[in-house]
Amino acid sequence: MKKILVTGALGQIGSEIVLKLREIYGDSNVIASSKDDREAGSEEVTGSGPFEIVDVLNLRQISQVVSKYKIDGIVHLAAVLSAVGEEKPHLLWDVNMNGLYNILEIAREKECAIFTPSSIAAFGPSTPPDQTPQDTIQRPTTIYGVSKVAGELLCDYYYERFGVDTRGVRFPGLISYKALPGGGTTDYAVHIYYEALKSKKFVSNIKEGTKMDMMYMPDALDAIINLMEADPSKLKHRNAFNITAMSFAPEDIYKEIKKHIPEFTLEYDVDPIKQRIAESWPNSLDDRAAREEWGWNPKYDLSSMTEDMLAKLRLKLKI
């Protein structure tokens, strides 16, 4: 990839991957895009290189930007997440499916490679929940998960049928300190750090004992870049690879934070919708295919992530 378009560039992943890609490929070669530029704290992204308004539901807008910058790689991140999706299933289907379809069509026409994330949400209650295999039953029960399975299949189809270089990973919950996640089920694992520092008390909307896979953002960014740079002859899978860095329940992350903030307390006020979603997802993924095919190897575990998150958030929140 030489000229890269990032959609959803002001979101939780987008606002970090744009900066990292600009370091590697050059500021002017990474075009950040979003359907509007009103997100708070977006200046770092909009000010450090090209920024364009692109609504992924507007085929002409995507096409114009891809032609204008001679884009040859698209990191497609614009999407609605799981919890918001249960409130607005029609919006989710429109953005996640029609948005992806538009991006794939432009990529086919203009010969671009594509990275787009799938998720642990692509699995469901009938999936083996522990050490979930790479290739297994995928019968999700959320509209988000349905869109992720359909998206994986559509990306595979565009590769097999039209030769579009599509690649993806199944991201677990992503934890980061720059932009907040927007309406996912795993968001609690980000908010808990903010509350530990701000109010020393956290109310978890996910029940004790509910394990989900998680990952610190620096590892997620490496995953995107390493997979896109991977030798295609080594890839047996494409859409999408299981990847994980850790698996924990609310009480595990709480105990880890408490080591640094002894007065921190945890309570529960379970959100039934988020809990139902969380329980339908795996407890832990088997990520051996990603390790074998393109060298996936995360650096952060719960303890090193917690140390770094608290240090970075202390600076950000001036606490």
| Residues pairing with 241 in the sheet | 169
Active-site entry in 69, 101, 144, 268: 144
Residue 47 CA to residue 45 CA, distance in Å, equals: 6
Smallest Cα–Cα separation from 66: which of 118, 103, 20? 103
Residue 223 CA to residue 91 CA, distance in Å, equals: 28
Contact between 242 and ligand SER by CB under 6 A: the answer reads no
Among 7, 96, 185, 306, binds ligand SER (CB under 6 A): 185
Residue 157 known to be catalytic: no
Provide the 8-state DSSP code for 49: S
* DSSP secondary structure of 156-188: HHHHHHH---EE-EEE-EEE-SSSPP-S-STTH
Residue 135 neighbours by CB distance under 10 Å: 8
* DSSP secondary structure of 200-223: SEEEESS-TT--EEEEEHHHHHHH
- Three-state DSSP at 28 gives helix
In the complex, what is the shortest distance from the CB of residue 121 to ligand SER, in angstroms, rounded to a whole number? 5
In the complex, what is the shortest distance from the CB of residue 277 to ligand SER, in angstroms, rounded to a whole number? 7
To the nearest 10°, report the CA torsion of 147, 148, 152, 155. 60
Among 49, 184, 250, 298, binds ligand SER (CB under 6 A): 184
Contact between 114 and ligand SER by CB under 6 A: the answer reads no
Stretch that binds ligand SER, among 65-73, 118-126, 191-199, 223-231 (CB under 6 A): 118-126
In the complex, what is the shortest distance from the CB of residue 92 to ligand SER, in angstroms, rounded to a whole number? 10
Strand order in the sheet with 173-175: 173-175, 212-216, 246-248
Site string for ligand SER, 150-179 (x = CB under 6 A): ---------------------x-x------
Among 186, 210, 239, 284, binds ligand SER (CB under 6 A): 186
In the complex, what is the shortest distance from the CB of residue 160 to ligand SER, in angstroms, rounded to a whole number? 25
Contact between 257 and ligand SER by CB under 6 A: the answer reads no
In the complex, what is the shortest distance from the CB of residue 215 to ligand SER, in angstroms, rounded to a whole number? 10
Please say which residue, 14 or 173, places its beta carbon nearer to ligand SER: 173
Give contact residues for ligand SER (rule: CB under 6 A): 81-82, 119-121, 144, 171, 173, 184-186
Q: Any idea which residues carry the catalytic annotation?
A: 144
